Amino acid sequence: MSLPRALVAVGAAALALAPAAAPAAAEKAAAHPVAEQPPCGDPGSAAFPISSRLNGGPEAYGRGGAPHGWRLELRNDTGADCQAVHPVAVLADRSRTLRPGDIHLDFYDRGAERWRPVRFERTDEAENVGVFDGSSPDFPGFAVPARRSVTVDLRLAFAAGAPEGPVTANVTAVQRRGNDGDWVGESDDYTFAIEEGTPEPAEETGRKGAAGHAGDAMDPGAPDRVPARGGDASPSAEEASPPALADTGSSHHLFGIGAAALALLLGGAALMFAARRSGR
């Protein structure tokens, strides 16, 4: 299911797709109203205001193994700050048998100094969609300063019963604005394999004091580190980052942001993704 390159309204579909999650999310949203943020970037521009880039992940994950660290960079290409930015991860395997219970993804919230889980929902296209909301109404999203970047530490693992085979991950960015939201960025695809594995010691991923925590603003134009591919470096290992896994600017369509994820983020309210022009 590709996200249409035009105006998309998700409302009743969200409730139909996520009957259990949406009412609970709606109650949370009502109890914790969200102030509407100014729009991120120029709504009339054809370009996304946020560039998303994935770095540092391995080429394979062992079933039942320890989490591996990687990073999401959100770069604000505009001259104004972007508030309340929520990444949305979409994972789909070739056999379409991967399920939310197989995926264990966390992101590091530097403000709260803790890891937060990403809760996934399965769409009718057999894609697994998870919003970076920390399963908490208290998480406001990421603030990305003008012309700067924020790096979010991630750690990903798969359950022992996860299906083996290739998986493709994609991360898009949504700005929450009250009970609506704008689609403000997307990454290209990160493809890896789930393999038979044995339990291993957990990596040191994104601990306090390490570089690249969520919320760190980075100088624009800082050079990417591109050593030889194949390492399983954690986000805190500056010297061992594999090449960038994905970048913006591709003509690939998104997998599609499932209505279930939108229900989780907005409590079932209609979410408007205003494409900046129909050909985007």
Q: Is the dihedral of CA 11, 16, 21, 22 positive or negative?
A: positive
Encode burial over 185-202: b for 16+ CB neighbours within 10 A, e otherwise.
Answer: bbbbbbebebeebeeeee
Assign residue 238 a region (left: φ > 0; alpha: ψ between -120 and 50; beta: otherwise). Answer: alpha
Domain ranges for the chain: 46-174+185-253
Supply the pLDDT for residue 52.
93
Tokens (6 digits) for 183 = 């689609």
CATH 2.60.40.1120 fits 46-174+185-253, yes or no: no
pLDDT lower than 70: segments of the chain: 1-35, 134-135, 198-280
CA 103 to chain centre: 13
Supply the pLDDT for residue 138.
82
Tokens (6 digits) for 217 = 């603003």
CB atoms within 10 A of CB 2: 11
Q: pTM surpassing 0.75? A: no
